[in-house]
């Protein structure tokens, strides 16, 4: 369980650097200048989104056998390694209308921004890999908070100083290693 939590936290924290949702954090912080409702909105939206993704990941394991699952997970992790290297952009239309207040706007915008995002797909794969729903969801949510809370509190000053290519490269390498380990069936010893 601890390994599932730590791997999930690390992967998502790295994958989120420069991601669309981190850009959304910066946009919301600049727009509303009220960090705590934004942070709470991110937390609630991420918990809901990643809980659904994690449940989907565990459900998938009931549909396919271990050999098929190993190949699906291995190839998924390797695909994630490549996907991490594709830079994200945010559309102005991604933010919900301000009529919902700071918390509500953040909640809706983050939940929708995470649909089909790299970290949601990673949560599905990690939950399938580790079969530890709570540890994975808490880990991916914690990783999301590690990446986005500083963006909300420090704004774009901190984001501009991070070596995004290096951070994305490390995250991609972690996904690639997990993929190769799964394909080599080393995952049974890990999970």
pLDDT of residue 25: 84
Separation of alpha carbons 129 and 69, rounded Å: 9
**pLDDT band, very low/low/confident/very high, at 103 (cuts 50, 70, 90):** very high
Specify the pLDDT at position 68.
73
Question: For the segment 158-173, what is each residue's pLDDT rounded down to a tens digit?
Answer: 555 656 566 667 767 7
Say if residue 126's pLDDT is above 70.
Answer: yes
Nearest residue to 46 via CA among 18, 25, 32: 25
Q: Mean pLDDT over residues 53-58, rounded?
A: 90
Q: Contact, 4 vs 126, CB < 8 A?
A: yes
At 94 the pLDDT is 45
C-alpha dihedral sign at 137, 143, 144, 146: positive
pLDDT per residue as tens digits for the range 9-41 = 998 998 888 777 887 787 778 777 789 999 999
pLDDT in the model for residue 186: 65
Say if CB 152 and CB 39 are below 8 A apart.
yes
pLDDT at residue 92 above 50?
A: no
Residue 168's CB: how many other CB atoms inside 10 A?
Answer: 20
pTM: 0.70
């Amino acid at each position: 369980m601890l390994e599932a939590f730590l791997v999930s936290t690390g992967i998502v924290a790295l994958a989120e650097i420069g991601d669309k949702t981190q850009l959304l954090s910066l946009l919301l912080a600049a727009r509303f200048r009220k960090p705590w409702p934004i942070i709470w909105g991110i937390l609630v939206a991420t918990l809901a989104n990643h809980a659904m993704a994690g449940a989907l990941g565990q459900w998938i394991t009931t549909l396919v056998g271990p050999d098929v699952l190993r190949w699906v997970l291995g190839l998924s992790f390797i695909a994630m390694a490549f996907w991490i290297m594709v830079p994200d952009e945010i559309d102005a239309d991604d933010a919900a209308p301000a009529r919902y207040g700071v918390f509500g706007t953040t909640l809706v915008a983050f939940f929708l921004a995470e649909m089909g995002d790299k970290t949601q797909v990673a949560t599905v794969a990690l939950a399938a890999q580790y079969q530890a729903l709570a540890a994975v969801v808490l880990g991916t949510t914690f990783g999301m908070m590690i990446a986005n809370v500083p963006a909300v509190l420090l704004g774009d000053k901190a984001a501009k100083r991070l070596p995004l290519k290096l951070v994305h490269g490390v995250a991609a390498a972690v996904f690639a290693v997990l993929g190769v380990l799964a394909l080599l069936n080393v995952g049974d010893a890990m999970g």
